[in-house]
Structure 1
Amino acid sequence: MRFLIIIPAHNEESNIRFTLHSLQHQSNKEIKVVIVNDGSTDQTPEIIQQFTKQDSRFETINLEKSAHQPGSKVISAFKKGLATQKLEEFDIICKFDADVIFPSDYLETIANAFSNNPKYGLVGGLLYIENNGEWIYEGNSNKHHVRGPVKAYRKEGFIQMGGLRETLGWDNIDSILLENLGWKEVVLPELQVKLIKIKGADYTIRPAEYYGKYFYFLGLSRSLTYIASAKEAVKSKSISFFLHIIRSYENCRQEKLQLKITRDEQKVINSQRWKMLRNKWLKI
């Protein structure tokens, strides 16, 4: 199976060399790596060039600098890279980050999973971060969800769901839409990917405001948002945290900010969330 790997990158001079090196030395050699340099002002372009000069499987696209917005910026860069390629030449489409290190058998294991399981639509490993000299599970999500930095899609499923959405919450929207289309999202725990820097470190948005916007752009109904906000408030042991999330969500509703999902997709997402609520919380 042939891989198309798209890597959005902005000011990743400290990390991207490790990512590209780990991809260059994969046991599966059937890859095309497109690095989208999104207006980097450091040495990122020069590092990318070192790989594109020595390996014909690597190429780069240079974009103008765009404002940082969680979700939309990185997917916008991803789509611009994707648009330069002929999808019919590939079997698997990957959206990878520029600050991860893959084990040498990562792509081979992914390819085998897709080949042996025709209903697999989204596959990935688990993220690990360094802590006191040891690599430990990052733990920022459940172990059944493929995280944004390591997404690998079966091309057919990717096309059926209409690709990725330029919005906050895109990496949950994709799995929900794929599941609704009959595809399975699968995490392979034996694939341990090293995350060089902790996600979200560059965000200037306040956590409560982030959650409010996230719930809004995910398309959640008001009732589901209030339940989800209460859950986050319990974690932080703060009533004010709940109120700030709700205020952020309601502000988005009042401003009627544009969603990147259709009404039908919004219904699917809400139905899935209610189902998850019944199964996990109410045990119905």
Structure 2
Amino acid sequence: MRFLIIIPAHNEEDHLPFTLDSLQQQRYKDFKVVVTNDGSTDHTPEIIKRYTDTDSRFETVTLQKSAHQPGSKVVNAFKKGLETQDLDHFDIICKFDADIILDENYLETIEKSFSNNPKYGLVGGLLYVEKEGDWVYEGNSNKNHVRGPLKAYRKECFLEIGGLRETLGWDNIDSILLEHLGWKEVVLPELKVKLIKVKGADYTVRESDYYGRYFYFLGLNRFLAYVASLKEAMKIRSVSFFFSIIKAYESCRSKKLEQKISKEEQQVINNKRWETLKKKWL
């Protein structure tokens, strides 16, 4: 199976060499990498050129700088890279971040997993971050969810879910839709991926606004959005945090901001949330 790996990159001069080196060192060699340079103002373009000049498997696409909003920016850059390729030549489509380090057996293990399990639609490892000299599990999500920095899709699954959505929450929307269509999302815990930058550190949006917008663009109805907001507020024991999230959510509703999922897809997502809620509480 052949991999197409798209890597959005904006001002990643300190991290990108580690990611691209780890790809060159893979035991599995049948892949193409497209690095989408999203308006970088540092030495990211020169770093990319170092690889494209010496390895025919590496290509690049250069974009003008886009507004840095969680979700939409990275997916837009991913799509621009994807548009330059003929998907008929590939079997696995990956969206990787520009600040991860893969073990040399990463692609080999992913390929075997897809080859041996026809219903696997999305596969990935687990993210680890460095703390006091040790690499520890990031712990930002449950261990059954493939995180945004290391998505690997079977092409048929990727196309059936309509690709990635240019919106906040895209890396949860894909999981729900593919499961609804009969595909499986699988995390391989033996695959440990090093994350060398803290995610979200360069977002300017307040945390409460982030959650409110996230619940809106995920398509949650009002009741489920309020339940989700309460859950987040309970984590830090803050009533004001709950109302701040709700305020952001209701602001999006009143403005009728464009959502990148259809009414039918919103219903699928809400049904899934209801199922999860009932399993947990009933």
Same topology, TM > 0.5: yes
Q: Match for 2:275: what amino acid?
A: K
Does residue 158 of structure 1 match 2:194? Answer: no
1:42 aligned residue:
42
Equivalence map 1:55-134=2 (5 Å): 55-134=55-134
- SS of the residue corresponding to residue 274 of structure 1 reads helix
Equivalence map 1:1-284=2 (5 Å): 1-279=1-279, 281-282=280-281, 284=282
Q: Distance in 1 between matches of 2:230 and 2:67?
A: 31
The Cα of 1:25 is off from its aligned counterpart by 0.9
Q: Match for 2:254: what amino acid?
A: Q
Instruction: Provide the TM-score with structure 1 as the length reference.
Output: 0.99
The Cα of 1:77 is off from its aligned counterpart by 0.5
Q: Distance in 1 between matches of 2:122 and 2:276?
A: 19
The Cα of 1:165 is off from its aligned counterpart by 0.1
Q: Distance in 2 between matches of 1:77 and 1:6?
A: 9
Q: Match for 1:5: what amino acid?
A: I
Q: Distance in 2 between matches of 1:136 and 1:24?
A: 25
Q: Match for 2:166: what amino acid?
A: E
Q: Match for 1:23: what amino acid?
A: L
- SS of the residue corresponding to residue 128 of structure 2 reads strand
Q: Distance in 2 between matches of 1:199 and 1:106?
A: 21
- SS of the residue corresponding to residue 123 of structure 1 reads strand
The Cα of 1:236 is off from its aligned counterpart by 1.1
- The list of structure 1 runs, each at least 4 consecutive aligned residues, that deviate by more than 6 angstroms after superposition, is none
Q: Match for 2:20: what amino acid?
A: L
> What are the Cα deviations for residues 194-236 of structure 1, in whole angstroms up to 9, with x where unaligned?
0001101111110000000000000000000000000000001
Q: Distance in 1 between matches of 2:266 and 2:43?
A: 41
The Cα of 1:278 is off from its aligned counterpart by 1.0
Q: Distance in 2 between matches of 1:161 and 1:142?
A: 22
Instruction: Extract unaligned runs of 5+ from structure 1.
Output: none
Q: Distance in 2 between matches of 1:202 and 1:64?
A: 18
Q: Distance in 1 between matches of 2:278 and 2:94?
A: 32
Instruction: Extract unaligned runs of 5+ from structure 2.
Output: none
Q: Match for 1:58: what amino acid?
A: F
- SS of the residue corresponding to residue 53 of structure 2 reads helix
Q: Distance in 1 between matches of 2:242 and 2:93?
A: 38
- SS of the residue corresponding to residue 173 of structure 2 reads helix
Q: Match for 1:196: what amino acid?
A: I
Q: Distance in 2 between matches of 1:37 and 1:69?
A: 16
Supply the RMSD in Å over aligned alpha carbons. 0.5
- SS of the residue corresponding to residue 232 of structure 1 reads helix
Q: Match for 2:210: what amino acid?
A: Y
- SS of the residue corresponding to residue 54 of structure 1 reads coil
- SS of the residue corresponding to residue 242 of structure 2 reads helix
Aligned residues: 282
Instruction: Provide the TM-score with structure 2 as the length reference.
Output: 0.99
The Cα of 1:159 is off from its aligned counterpart by 0.4
Q: Match for 2:141: what amino acid?
A: S
